[in-house]
Amino acid sequence: MSATTQTPKAAPRGSTASRARATRLLGDRRLPVLVTAALFIAMYVGGLSRYQNYGFAEPQVFLNLFIDNGYLLVAAIGATFVIMSGGIDLSVGSMIGFTTMFTAWLVERQGLPLLLVVPLALAVGAFGGFLMGYVIHNFEIQPFIVTLAGLFLFRGLCLVISKESISINDASVGTLAQTRVSLGVGDLSIGAVVALVVLAVAFYVLHYTRFGRRVYAIGGNEQSALLMGLPLGGTKIAVYTVSGFCSALAGLLFMLYIQSGDPLHAVGMELDAIAAVVIGGTLLTGGSGYVLGTLFGVLVLGLIKSVITFEGTLSSWWTKIATGVLLCAFILVQRTMTSRRKT
């Protein structure tokens, strides 16, 4: 008796080509950013069609996305550096709240000029980030634990300064808060302009400097980066210093936005910043992402708030619900992309 062997049927050429295209598409690092940008455009076009009789098409409505979310954009940019390096920073919100309290206390209670308080607040924020990065690297403790300790520390310091809100009546603060930069079709606040400048600087640093390449390398594979001789410790400490600096700057912009300090300001804002970074396409595991994606992530979150405001019948809690749904969807996209790359 002779055994018969069956040769496997070759897959159709068309299906093989389709799978190859799908694999290339899912392996493209720009895909999450493009998806976020497309989502923002679709949401904005939907708002134009639904609320065209309510002034949604006014250019100022679009510019208000930057005015109302400038501080969040700066905080999310700092978080982008940390997440891209493979870490996490949970102290962002408490650092923002502490900066508002610290600034309000120095300006209102101690009578110090704003020009002196601003660099002092930024230095405190940068030092806080440096300290957390130093502990994470030198004591080899998980970033989640160290930054969680930072969250409690700075929130507690807010209450040490004052248990009640401190209104800022300083003339220089009021002048900066009311200043607008005209763009012809609308205007931007000082906070929005500062946020866009920070975005431009972060884009250049991440994509055109040696430090930015180190951040990507460490986030992609820490052991490989170490074998390549990259300064692992210095880069890790630097990204947390950048995050602390950006959080303090976001606190100053938030202070201008509301012109007060409160120990409960920015509670949970670290989660909004992380959500904006993830929705913007930066992988939670690090090594992949774009700071422009973070911009679109912030704009998507801001547009959700604007749509809810124009709708008028929805609770503000729908913002959290929509953010949660989007976050889950983008995490699934990230998971699909990383599994495709491994195969």
0.85 surpassed by pTM: yes
229, with CB counted inside 10 A (0-12, 13-18, 19+), is exposed
In-domain check, residue 27: no
225 in Cβ contact with 218 (< 8 Å):
yes
Distance CA 308, CA 51 (A): 11
Q: Percent of the chain beyond pLDDT 90?
A: 72
In-domain check, residue 330: yes
pLDDT (0 to 100) of residue 108? 93
Q: Tens digits of per-residue pLDDT, 230-287? A: 899 999 999 999 999 999 999 999 999 999 999 999 999 999 999 999 999 998 888 8
Q: Which domain holds residue 123?
A: 32-336
In-domain check, residue 298: yes
In-domain check, residue 19: no
In-domain check, residue 16: no
In-domain check, residue 286: yes
Whether the predicted pLDDT of 228 surpasses 80: yes
Whether the predicted pLDDT of 340 surpasses 80: no
Q: Tens digits of per-residue pLDDT, 290-299? A: 999 999 999 9
User: What is the CATH classification number for the domain harbouring 226?
Assistant: 1.10.3470
Q: Tens digits of per-residue pLDDT, 172-184? A: 999 999 999 999 8
Computed over every residue of the chain, the mean pLDDT equals: 90
pLDDT (0 to 100) of residue 23? 56
In-domain check, residue 79: yes
In-domain check, residue 48: yes
Q: Structure tokens of 207?
A: 């994509």
255-276 burial, b at 16+ Cβ within 10 Å, e below that, comes to bbbebbbbbebbeebbebbbbb
Per the structure, the count of domains in the chain is 1
334 in Cβ contact with 287 (< 8 Å):
no
